[in-house]
Amino acid sequence: MLETVKFSPRIWFFLGFLGCVFLLSMGAYFQFVDGLEPCPLCISQRIAIFVTGVVFLIAALHNPTATGIKIYAIIGMCSALCGGAISIRHIWLQHLPKDQVPECADIGYIFAYFPLSETIKLMLSGTGECADINWTMLGLSMPAWTLLAFLMLAALSAGQLWNRPKL
């Protein structure tokens, strides 16, 4: 069974890159066509998707040896799992009772008037607008679908640990 899906790691990394491009394209569609403004956690998830996509693209272009494949797979898996952790935080905020949701903060104001360290802290912790559920499909919110995408990207990356040529 595994032999039927045993493409070269280069192809799998490129497919992972295309998946990241698709996810970022969907985020842009929802923002610019549907008018859904991203919250700080949404932006953080997009950054994690971008970083994961860059790792996959570099791995595909580099076409590394077995050791390089292992390194790229671990880095790609870590970046995808970090994005998944942000998604979990986002889902958790969406399920908080209304009285426990943090206050809303304007992201433009945060970028303009807060130091970088405070901005990163606020982006990763989320604000009240992160608790809003503006879109669902099959009963799952956008952060839940993003979590599933991150888990698939992490699994694709981890799969390259077994799909690499032996030394």
Hey, where are the domains in the chain? 9-159
Rounded Cα–Cα distance for residues 76 and 32 (Å):
28
Spatial CB neighbours of 82, under 8 Å, sequence gap ≥ 6: 48
The pTM assigned to this predicted structure is 0.81
Per-residue pLDDT reduced to its tens digit, 38-58: 888 888 899 999 999 999 999
CB count in 10 Å sphere of residue 42:
25
Interval 4-23: pLDDT, tens: 556 788 899 999 999 999 99
In the chain, the amino acid numbered 154 is A
Q: How far is CA 8 from CA 15, 47, 111, 159, in A?
A: 11, 27, 42, 11
- Per-residue tens of pLDDT for the chain, all 167 residues: 445 556 788 899 999 999 999 999 999 999 899 888 888 888 889 999 999 999 999 999 998 888 899 999 999 999 999 999 999 988 888 887 777 766 655 666 666 777 777 777 766 666 657 777 787 789 888 999 999 999 999 999 998 988 766 65
Does domain 9-159 fall into CATH 1.20.1550.10? yes
Task: Give the Å distances, CA to CA, from 74 to 56, 68, 107, 139.
Answer: 11, 10, 32, 32
| Alpha-carbon gap, residue 128 to 113, rounded angstroms | 19
